[in-house]
Amino acid sequence: MKKILLLLIALSMAMPVLAVHTAKISLNPMLTAASADTQFTVNVTNLGKDRISELRVRMPVDFSGLKCGTAPSGWAVSFSDAIECNYKTVANYIMANSSLGFTVTAKTGDDDKNYTWELRTRDVFDGFSLFNPVTNIDKSGPAIKPSTLTAPNGGEKWVSRTGHDITWKGADITDANLKAKPVTLEYSTDGKKWDVIAKDLENGGSYAWTVPDANSTSVKVRLTAADSVGNAASDESDGAFTISPALPTTVLIVGDNAMIDIDKDGKTDFIVALVDITNKTAILTFTSLKPAATTTTVAANGTTTVPSRPDQTTTIVIVILIVIIVYLIWKLQQTGKKK
């Protein structure tokens, strides 16, 4: 029995021993989209004292379209099967405390799950290290409730160039891999063409929007949230709201005149001129290219005389300008008192 034991010991000492080689491998990206053509970078760092002479890359079986890429300088690439590529040294090695990157590409699996790789390094003395990094496939967009967008949500009447808040419930947008700044806001005046308001916004629940120039009763806002691999989901206004053109405004001093296009058809509707201003009376003249001409006199006490009233729009413009002139009269009076 003792002789057998000694013989076994002698045989075990005579057999070659495969040493474990110390190395470090990183895989990027670890998270990617489903069924996506993806380039993966495998970075190998030699933590041992012996040169690394070979790297085997076995990709997950559900990946397809494998391409091992171009071998690094001094290395050759060979295939052992449809999902494995072996990088074997020709002249160069990965020296101790050195790193080298290898690039492989593949079309990822279409399931929302994790896929395990098999990566092995081997040194010149047959020492090896085995690594099993995991790629996580994300095929699902963020969960977003249909009531996430709260304003504008239908029925609002907003005017161009005025400020309003677009608001939403940030807590109603959830995803394990949500982007740090996941929100994109858009608006449409016809439900077909969408224009970007802002993108790469934090999920803070509010955005201060300066309403653009538009004239539509069919406006909607759409909020889209995206995860870090590009999956997205949206919620839009439940109903349409209105954006109407801003009313024209102007400030005049004595001798000034302004051409005003009320209906924004590219043609001047009124020529407004401030022809006189004293401590008692300010006189504005409105020369209309469409309605009848009119002259408005504003007394110092605020009394107004309007000879004619062509239409409602004209009246609105006149009222706005009257307010401006009354203010100018008051300022002149204040200046006179100081003197």
Q: Are 236 and 220 in contact (CB under 8 A)?
A: yes
Q: CB within 8 A of 86, min separation 6: which ones?
A: 54, 55, 56, 57, 77, 78, 79, 80
Which neighbouring-strand residues pair with 57? 85, 119
Report the CATH number at residue 39: 2.60.40.1510
Residue 39, domain member (yes or no) = yes
Residue 274, domain member (yes or no) = yes
Domain boundary among 87, 106, 138: 138
Same domain, 280 and 236: no
Same domain, 293 and 228: no
- Average pLDDT estimate for 110-116: 93
Q: For residue 20, what is the DSSP state?
A: B
Dig out the tokens for 249 from the structure: 């405004």
Lowest mean pLDDT among 90-94, 191-195, 249-253, 270-274: 249-253
Which three-class secondary structure state does DSSP give residue 325?
A: helix
Report the CATH number at residue 184: 2.60.40.10
Query: Does the CA dihedral 110-114-118-121 come out positive or negative?
Result: positive
Same domain, 36 and 132: yes
Dig out the tokens for 147 from the structure: 């009531």
Model confidence at 16: pLDDT above 50: no
Q: Are 242 and 215 in contact (CB under 8 A)?
A: no
Same domain, 230 and 283: no
Query: Does the CA dihedral 95-134-18-88 come out positive or negative?
Result: negative
pLDDT digits (tens, 9 = 90+) for 82-109: 789 999 998 999 999 999 998 999 999 9
Residue 144, domain member (yes or no) = no
Regarding pTM above 0.75, the answer is no
Tokens 């300010």 identify what position? Answer: 282
Same domain, 160 and 218: yes
Same domain, 131 and 22: yes
Same domain, 108 and 168: no
Phi, psi of 170, rounded to the nearest 5 degrees = -60, -35
Same domain, 181 and 160: yes
Domain count, the chain: 3
Domain boundary among 113, 138, 163: 138
pLDDT grade for 264, boundaries at 50, 70 and 90: low
Dig out the tokens for 338 from the structure: 């100081």
- Average pLDDT estimate for 190-215: 96
Tokens 């098999």 identify what position? Answer: 118
Same domain, 176 and 286: no
Same domain, 119 and 36: yes
Residue 143, domain member (yes or no) = no
Same domain, 116 and 24: yes
Task: Give the burial string for 60-70 (b: 16+ CB within 10 Å, else e).
Answer: beebbebebee
Domain hosting 195: range is 149-244
Residue 110, domain member (yes or no) = yes
- Average pLDDT estimate for 109-131: 93
Cα–Cα separations (whole angstroms), residue 262 to 17, 159, 258, 294: 93, 15, 12, 16
